[in-house]
Amino acid sequence: MPRSRLAGIIILGITWIPYAYSQAASRRPSAEAILDRQVAVSGGQALYDRIQNEMRTMTAKVSGADVAQIVIYRNRFGSLHQIVRGAGEQSELGVKSGVVWSRTGDAAQIVETGEERAQALQGAILLSDGRWREIYKSAETVRTETVEGKLCYVLKVVPFVGEPHTLWYDQKTGLQVREVSPLSTGGETQVTAQEYFETGGITMPRILHSLINGVVITMVVDDVKFNQPIPDSIFALPPDIERLMKKRFAAK
């Protein structure tokens, strides 16, 4: 879930799935099997690997009212450009060649450390569900739990960079239902996925309900396009970020 992020695998083959999920109820499947199954049921690794870029538009709503329009660009090389427009303001988040930057209005910065950088780098991974082994250094199935009326396997995953996340997967469909992840400002955010749909052969949630510090923000996917021409300028570092980079290297 880029993901978004709910946000976002190297599948070992599909023939093992019936076996893995026919074990006695007292024996939970491994986290690896659950994460691989998500990819298998949402499009398959071969399709994931053929996708080179993504353009996604979303609407953020609070109490049913539109508050922001979001455009996200990603490519296979780990580049990201996210633009959020609302209330007469614009904010941006970008990743290019490992450089993470953000801008709100005229205030721009390079994000060098912390959870904000870790989650930006993860968010820049195209269809990250299909590349989870590049994101998590460990994953464990910790329990079962009912969420949104669905019996789920609950996983604890530890990224190579950043703090642990908790993930919920529907035992029946294999699709992700919820994610809880740390906030860069402290605390955590809970994202619940609803209304899965298919686009370009990939199955993904249309609606993401985010609970952030007691506020529910609903993200609705308006459109997703894969493998479309995206100008290099979309991912290029903006001039003010280039200037900040030069100052940083000059100081060193």
List the chain pLDDT tens, one digit each, 252 residues: 433 334 332 222 322 333 334 343 448 999 999 999 999 999 999 999 999 999 999 999 988 788 999 999 999 999 999 999 998 899 999 999 999 999 998 899 999 988 889 889 999 999 999 999 999 999 999 999 999 999 999 999 999 988 999 999 999 999 999 999 988 777 889 999 999 999 999 999 999 999 988 889 999 999 999 999 999 999 999 999 999 888 876 665
- The domain tally of the chain equals 1
pTM for this prediction: 0.83
Question: Is residue 184 in a domain?
Answer: yes
Question: Is residue 74 in a domain?
Answer: no
Question: Is residue 22 in a domain?
Answer: no
Question: Is residue 144 in a domain?
Answer: yes
Sign of CA dihedral 191, 195, 200, 203: positive
Instruction: Return the SS3 of 8.
Output: coil
Question: Is residue 8 in a domain?
Answer: no
Question: Is residue 240 in a domain?
Answer: yes
Question: Is residue 192 in a domain?
Answer: yes
Residue 191 domain boundaries: 28-68+134-251
* 109 membership: H or E segment, kind and range: strand 107-110
Extract the tokens encoding 156.
Answer: 């604890």
d(CA 38, CA 190): 19
Name all contacts of 209-214 with Cβ < 8 Å and 24+ positions apart. Answer: 212/183, 213/183, 213/187
Question: Is residue 86 in a domain?
Answer: no
* Inter-CA distances, 235 with 2, 41, 78, 103, 203, Å: 18, 31, 10, 14, 26
Class of residue 66 by CB neighbours under 10 A (exposed 0-12, middle 13-18, buried 19+):
exposed
